Amino acid sequence: MTGQVFRNGAGGRIDRTVPLSFTFDGKNYQGFQGDTLASALLANGVRVVGRSFKYHRPRGILGAGFEEPNALVQLGDGARTEPNTQATRVELFDGLTATSQNRWPSLQFDISAINGLFHRLLPAGFYYKTFMAPANLWMTYEKIIRRAAGMGRAPTQMDPDIYARRFAHCNVLVIGGGPAGVSAALAAGQSGARVILAEDNPQLSVSETELADMDNVTVLTRTMAAAYYDHNTLILSERIADHKPAPAPFETRQRMWKVRAQQVVLATGALERPLVFPNNDRPGVMLASAAQCYAADFAVRAGNQAVVFTNNDSAYGAARDMKAAGIDIAAIIDTRPEISDSTRELATNTKVLTGHAIIDVASGRGGATRGVTLKAIHPDTGAPKGSPIDIACDVVAMSGGWNPTIHLFSQSKGKIKYDGARAAFVPGQSFQQERSIGAANGTFDHEACIIEGHNAGAAAARDVGFDAPDARTSPSGIPPAAQPLWSAPTGAKRFVDFQNDVTADDIGLAYREGYQSVEHLKRYTTLGMGTDQGRTSNVNGLAIMADHRRLDIPEVGTTTFRPPFSPITLGGIAGWHTGQNFEATRQSAMSAWHEAQGATFSNAGLWRRPEYYPRTGMTPAEAVHHEARHVREKVGVVDVSTLGKIDVQGRDALEFLSRVYINNLTKLPVGKCRYGVMLREDGFVFDDGTITRLAEMRFLVTTTTTHAGPVMTHLEYLAQVQWPELDVHLLSVSEDWAGIAIAGPNSRTLLSQLFQDVDFANEAFPFMGYRETNAGGVPVRLFRISFSGEHAYELNVPADYGLNFWTALLETGADLDVIPYGTEAMNILRIEKGHVTGAELNGRVTADDLGFAGMMSKLKPFVGQVLARRDALTAKGRRQLVGLVPADGETPIPAGAQILADPDAPPPEFTPAAILGEVTSNCYSPALGHPIGLGLVEDGSDRHGDTLYAHSPITSETVAITLTNPVFVDPAGGRLHG
């Protein structure tokens, strides 16, 4: 078969002057501008488009839009390939390539189809039953199931396209560009309200020039409303370039809209239900509305000869349109014993068999439909009776009634209710500022939809203060179309969920095995768990379960609708934030210099900090040790700009800080610093840093790099909520000042050369002193503080000058052998000095645990003071800070190791009580020439000299360690003070 033999010469919304070439499974086909992939495949007579998930049965196109469960294809190839795409929603473009899924080695011959022959081995709940003993077999099953399941391939290359997010706000958001939605947008737009109208299709269903002319109305086509969250926040996914071979240069492929709307109008339409009958999944069996859509919108005949199978009136209109497109309607089979005269009039000159049902579908070449078998059915029980009738056909157009598309309504937390007359769930009480209209509200009459839309759009605008057009009167007395639910009571495979291969018998099995709640039914059978979220299957499945349980459908209930309404791309969700843009980074004034020196970087919060500077002829470890040794012997500079800095001012600044820190600060004079510790309310250590008194009523406090944000939040909370009566002003100035620490025996000489007007003599500028000066017109803050344990200073200058001072220090200090050092060496130096950092301040330690008990003032109250006195925080047996050295003087102490008394004890992960503590920090000490560490050990302060064992549960190493004073270098502090 070649060419578009199922395409009519006229009609439809396609542009025959723009022919398009595409391939499906490697074969070339032609379509037209305006086609979907599905309509083009049907035009070319392609009937089988995929294999089913579990049984690998051949499947054809069932629907024409969102509802499609079968025609899932892999689009494109290489970096732009995309799996599980509904062919019914893919706009055709020239050069499109698509391949079918769930088949191996080919669509025509699929090895796994043998599952269909042994389907009794793959019943509902098969997945869960494989969990049963023997348990280890699950591993085997799982691999086979995964491979057989297919479901397309994820791309393995980086996505080359650009995705964007977009925030938007409006007075009225209308979802759905059908007659009701357009009418609502128009009425709201006429009031002057800011309106957004979103429609998934490439164009609105009615062309509306007035709408396009309104500046206050934004019409978004190719835009799906994916989610409806609290506060009328909706997520819309706009496909800007998906209908092109590739986006234009700099063009965004998809835009994810996050819309906050004061009012929402849902005009999301309705989706047709399939009927449940034996072999209802044969290619050629499709929804009547889909066959109608292909005929009317695309001028495509779904086949040559059709049987229409229905339980309601809507399929008669479909039959009329199919006939008009040239499809021979062999018969309309109606399960109802009687139909109205007006309905019968729609089918003039067409054979109508009421009180009949299809009891089987025969398949021919490739599995496609070649005929149906009918029987009369009992009007009450639905049981087939009498003799079978065979009718030849290649299309079965079925209609089981209509489900309003209530997914977004349900996501909005609106209460859905069951409408017996329509045999469908419809919107009930709204939970947010929302209105459902048109078919989404169970209104199926065209004129009534337009009026309902107008009234809802106007009312929504009026509710937010706009002068909206008057309401129109709805034609009254239009009865809802009767749509009784119906499913064949028995027979071969009667599919309910096409995508997940769930049959009516599977639901029966779930019922018999006790999985009767809808939520259990869903998990046990996987009903409704496909990418289509059961759009065609849920209500039929509920009806069958209700029948088994002899309950009404509302009593059975329904599962929860969850976002997204239909799958959206991860690219759209990520937007800009991928790769190096995943998170913002913070860089100091000296970052570019560090990069130019080839430093490696590590992250501290969002900051990027240099770890070490590579040196020719040295390994990374040797370079780090060189830096650390050099600081102890000569002088080094390190970028400490990342430390948190908070400016504290006000008449009550001192009182405020006294309440925040455990230290007594009343005697802190202007021009001096103090090391301070703050606790959380619960008495554990929160953070540490320095407090410097810049002026009588002005302080600068520093925090650790990663705690800068939390400490600022903590202080703001205390100032604003707990003690609003205090006159205190807080401002984070972390980024205003570049910070450089200058450490080592030569640091004083180096600074004396750079700042000649400052007296660096010990008496004039002692340890923990603070001085301000001016260098070359730049204000400079100098602090004599030390993290390394060496004679050291920290220098702060306004950030734009930071790099100048960094280079000036290196140039001035060249004769003194100054070098830059990174965070690795800094860490070694502070471990050697026994200074704690984030590794020790882990949220579980008290000030006493760290040896800071003496700093806790007894003369004033401070945050955490009361709860720090709790028994558990003061009792014997708490883990206290200790130094660790390997007993043999050379074996490295494993990182993160557990500390045990008995090296031969069972693995500590199974005997938590045997763990006496943990290694918190470890390194090789260049100053001492052997490995050292810090740890927290039960009653560690009393155990100096004891030998214990550090056991790593990860590497299984066990190393004998001796506990020591945590200060390894200069315990007397001579270097600091000298």
Partner 1 sequence: MVDLNLSRSALDGVFTQGAFGAAGDPGVTLSERRGGALLDLSTGDIDATRRAIATQFGVDLPTKSGRTATGDACRALWTGPGHWLIKTAPKPNLERAWADAARNSAVNDVTHGRIVLRIKGPSARDILAKGCPLDLHPTAFPTGACAQSLIGKINVTIDCLDADEFDITTGRAYAKSLWAWMTGAAAEYGYRVE
**Interface with partner 1 by CB under 8 A: which residues?**
162, 164-169, 194, 248-252, 258, 260, 576-577, 581, 583-589, 592, 607, 647, 649-651, 698, 727, 729, 731, 733-737, 775-778, 798-805, 807-808, 811
Question: Whole-angstrom Cα distance, residue 347 to residue 351?
Answer: 8
Q: Torsions phi, psi of 27, nearest 5?
A: -90, 145
Q: Which CB sits closer to partner 1, 101 or 190? A: 190
CB 951 within 8 A of CB 897: yes
CB of 776 to partner 1, least distance (A): 3
CB 809 within 8 A of CB 750: yes
- Count the alpha carbons within 13 Å of 228 in the hemisphere toward its beta carbon: 27
CB of 516 to partner 1, least distance (A): 45
Cα dist. 92→41, 180, 243, 408, 566 in Å?
Answer: 10, 27, 7, 28, 20
- The whole-angstrom distance between residue 669's C-alpha and the CA centroid of its chain comes to 52
- State both tokens at 654: 């001192």
Q: Is the peptide bond before 105 cis (omega within 30 degrees of 0)?
A: yes
CB of 818 to partner 1, least distance (A): 14
Q: Please work out, in degrees rounded to the nearest 5, the angle formed at the alpha carbon of residue 329 by the alpha carbons of 323 and 330.
A: 165
Query: 871: Cβ–Cβ under 8 A, 6 or more apart, which residues?
Result: none
CB of 705 to partner 1, least distance (A): 11
CB of 930 to partner 1, least distance (A): 38
CB of 170 to partner 1, least distance (A): 9
Query: 349: Cβ–Cβ under 8 A, 6 or more apart, which residues?
Result: none
CB of 228 to partner 1, least distance (A): 17
Q: Which CB sits closer to partner 1, 32 or 770? A: 770
Query: 539: Cβ–Cβ under 8 A, 6 or more apart, which residues?
Result: 273, 403, 423, 424, 425, 485, 553
Q: Which CB sits closer to partner 1, 296 or 606? A: 606
CB of 775 to partner 1, least distance (A): 5
DSSP-assigned beta bridge partners for residue 601: 610
Tracing tokens 């605008």 back to the chain, one arrives at: 461
Q: Which CB sits closer to partner 1, 228 or 515? A: 228
Q: Which CB sits closer to partner 1, 90 or 240? A: 240
CB of 670 to partner 1, least distance (A): 16
Q: Which CB sits closer to partner 1, 449 or 691? A: 691
Q: Which CB sits closer to partner 1, 353 or 733? A: 733
CB of 823 to partner 1, least distance (A): 16
Question: Whole-angstrom Cα distance, residue 842 to residue 828?
Answer: 19
End-to-end CA distance of the chain: 96
Q: Which CB sits closer to partner 1, 196 or 295? A: 196
CB of 905 to partner 1, least distance (A): 48
CB 930 within 8 A of CB 888: no
Q: Which CB sits closer to partner 1, 729 or 771? A: 729
Q: Which CB sits closer to partner 1, 695 or 866? A: 695
DSSP-assigned beta bridge partners for residue 455: none
CB of 779 to partner 1, least distance (A): 9
DSSP codes joined into one string, 644-666: EEEEEESTTHHHHHHHHBSS--T
Q: Which CB sits closer to partner 1, 377 or 809? A: 809
Question: Whole-angstrom Cα distance, residue 556 to residue 303?
Answer: 39
Question: Whole-angstrom Cα distance, residue 435 to residue 336?
Answer: 34
DSSP codes joined into one string, 428-460: -S-SSSEEE-GGGGT---HHHHHHHHHHHHHHH
Q: Which CB sits closer to partner 1, 142 or 800? A: 800
